[in-house]
Amino acid sequence: MAQDPKDPKDPKEPEQPEEGRAQESRDPSGSSEFLSMEGPDIETPTAGASDDPAAGFSADDLTFLEDVSSGAATAPIQTIAEEHLADLKRVTAEYANYRRRTEANRQIERDRAVGDVVKLLLPVLDDLDRAEKHGDLGEGTFATIASKLRASAERIGLVAYGLVGDPFDPADHEAIFQKQNPAVTTAIVADVVERGYRIGDVTLRVAKVVVDTPAD
């Protein structure tokens, strides 16, 4: 019996393309200008594309060009310039503050270094003060040497403090003895045992004093 050529079981019948394979089809209008592919809808122009770069933009999209040409876009530029100027002023001020702090720290370190050396002279200056208090300096060579030594210490920057009658300040004075005095209303320095010394803002030694305090 002859086999029906249209029998679907006929192995010689060509198979239909599987679903999902890309098939080439033409636009229903018959134009070959577009290629259609299955999957995502993609249409790629193959002919008739314009060479004008602005051809794909509308008039509203190009309005910024008119703003630039007419000067209407200068406000944002001015704002940016002001922001940059403010940043520059801030950085300049921070640098000036940094320089001041650096100079101040450098001066303090210098005073400390000089003070470490000058501390070696403090016992000699104390002996000169005691000799002067007891009237042993007087006139002559010894007094001249003492005057020159004190002048040299002052040129270095050494400053002595602590005088009788000064208000008592615990930050600058060390009270080695206190006594009541009904004649005073606040604590004052009654006598100076050893004067205090400082260089700049660096205190080398506080003054050792006797303090008069108000009576109870």
Burial class (CB in 10 A: 0-12, 13-18, 19+), 87: exposed
pLDDT, average across residues 108-116: 87
pTM above 0.75, yes or no: no
Residue 62 confidence (pLDDT):
53
Paired tokens of 173 = 């004075």
pLDDT in tens, 158-181: 999 999 999 999 989 999 999 988
pLDDT in tens, 24-77: 444 444 544 444 445 455 444 444 445 555 555 565 555 555 555 555 555 677
Q: What is the DSSP letter of 135?
A: T
Residue 57 confidence (pLDDT):
54
- Residue 109, φ and ψ in degrees, nearest 5: -65, -35
Residue 1 confidence (pLDDT):
46
Tell me if 117 sits within 8 A of 197, measured CB to CB.
no
